[in-house]
Amino acid sequence: MDYSLVHITLLTYIRSVSYTVQSDLCDVLQKIVRSLDRPEFNSNVDTLDAYIATINTKINPTGFRVAKHRAQVSGDVFYVFVNTVSDEITKVNTNYSVPEIDAIKRIIDDLIDQSDLSFSLGYVNSSQRIGQTLNKTSRESNVLLSRLVDDGWFDVTEEDRVTLSIRSICELKHYLIDKYGVFDGEDVSQQSGGKLFVCRQCKELVTQGEKCVDAKCPISFHYKCLDFYKRSNDVKCPNYDVCGYVWSDQHDGSEDETKNENENGIPSIPWTPPTRIGVANPLRI
Ligand SMILES: [Zn+2]
Ligand SMILES: [Zn+2]
């Protein structure tokens, strides 16, 4: 496919919104092609992906890419405009001054350091963090925080919790893993233990989902990924031999429910729900 005015217009749209859900982008593509080229054109995911592939071939040498990324809660596919040259937060945020980027880093530090695994920070605390870092008034801090939210770097839940957005997780994934590490079952208070979780099913970061109840077990899933895993697998934790956790209170019928011990002779304990990662009421994207 030749790079055309349709591609340029589509790319301009994606850049202007930073990220967009697949169904919306399909509609946008259809409108663009109908107005510029073929009035009868109907778009679908395949035609959209063909246009995106051509755009990526064109913009790759400039260090950018339109990436596909699944939203953690809804599971919907999003298209995100990302910088591929560097995962350094400094380079991707060219719209911000160096001190402002420092403030962003401190908010991310605070989000990830939460001992309750909420990966979130209260809006007021986030604004205060900006104020402390940049020596700004609370009004100025609020202005910058709302700009960061508008630019898609953070989301704000209905309960005023600031969380990492789909854009920041997609674009900063490697930066975050390099800086904070992935939890591998070691003591989280130790630097080496890692603070992030990677979904067992899709291998993407989990800042909204569930983890194994066993504090030392690193197995975690996004909600939809766990549903998928449970449909196609045993409900035992993939790390069951070590943690002994079962991911569901639903018996599959193959076990004798009157038995008080499992096949290893370990007494069965009442089922407890997995540990939540993220906020209680996340945005439904
Ligand atoms: Zn997943
Ligand atoms: Zn486990």
Q: What pLDDT is attached to residue 267? A: 57
Ligand nearest to the CA of 247: 2
Burial class of residue 125 (count of CB atoms within 10 Å of its CB; 0-12, 13-18, 19+): middle
Ligand nearest to the CA of 215: 2
Ligand nearest to the CA of 235: 2
The arrangement of strands across the sheet holding 161-164 comes to 120-122, 161-164, 154-156
Q: Per-residue confidence of the chain (285 residues) as pLDDT tens digits?
A: 899 999 999 999 999 988 999 999 999 999 999 999 899 999 999 999 999 999 999 999 988 999 999 999 999 999 999 888 765 665 555 678 888 888 888 999 999 999 899 999 999 999 999 999 999 999 999 999 999 999 888 999 999 999 999 989 998 888 899 999 999 876 555 555 699 999 999 999 999 999 999 999 999 999 999 999 998 877 899 999 999 999 987 654 444 444 445 566 555 667 889 999 999 888 877
**What domains can you pick out in the chain, each with its CATH number?**
5-83 (3.90.1150.220), 93-180 (1.10.10.10), 196-272 (3.30.40)
Q: What strands lie across the sheet with 19-21, from one edge to the other?
A: 19-21, 77-83, 64-70
Would you state the pLDDT for residue 97? 85
CA of 269 to the centre of ligand 2 (A): 14
Per-residue pLDDT, 254: 47
- In this prediction the pTM is 0.85
pLDDT of residue 257: 44
178, 159 in Cβ contact below 8 A? Answer: no
- CA of 129 from ligand 1 middle (Å) equals 31
Distances in whole angstroms, Cα of residue 283 to Cα of each of 156, 161, 252, 268:
8, 10, 32, 36
Q: How high is the pLDDT of residue 152? A: 85
Ligand index nearest the alpha carbon of residue 242 = 2
CB-based contact 197:220 (threshold 8 Å)? yes
Tokens matching residue 230: 């449970």
Q: What is the pLDDT of residue 85?
A: 74
Ligand number nearest to the C-alpha of 217: 2
* Residues, CB within 5 angstroms of ligand 2 (ion): 212, 214, 217, 219, 237, 239, 243, 245
Going by their DSSP bridges, the two strands 209-211 and 220-221 should be labelled as: antiparallel
Cα of 149 to ligand 1 centre, how many Å? Answer: 24
- Biggest alpha carbon–alpha carbon distance for the chain: 70
Instruction: Spell out the residues 6+ positions from residue 103 whose beta carbon is closer than 8 angstroms to its own.
Output: 129, 130, 133, 134, 144
| Span from the CA of 174 to the centroid of ligand 2 (angstroms) | 25
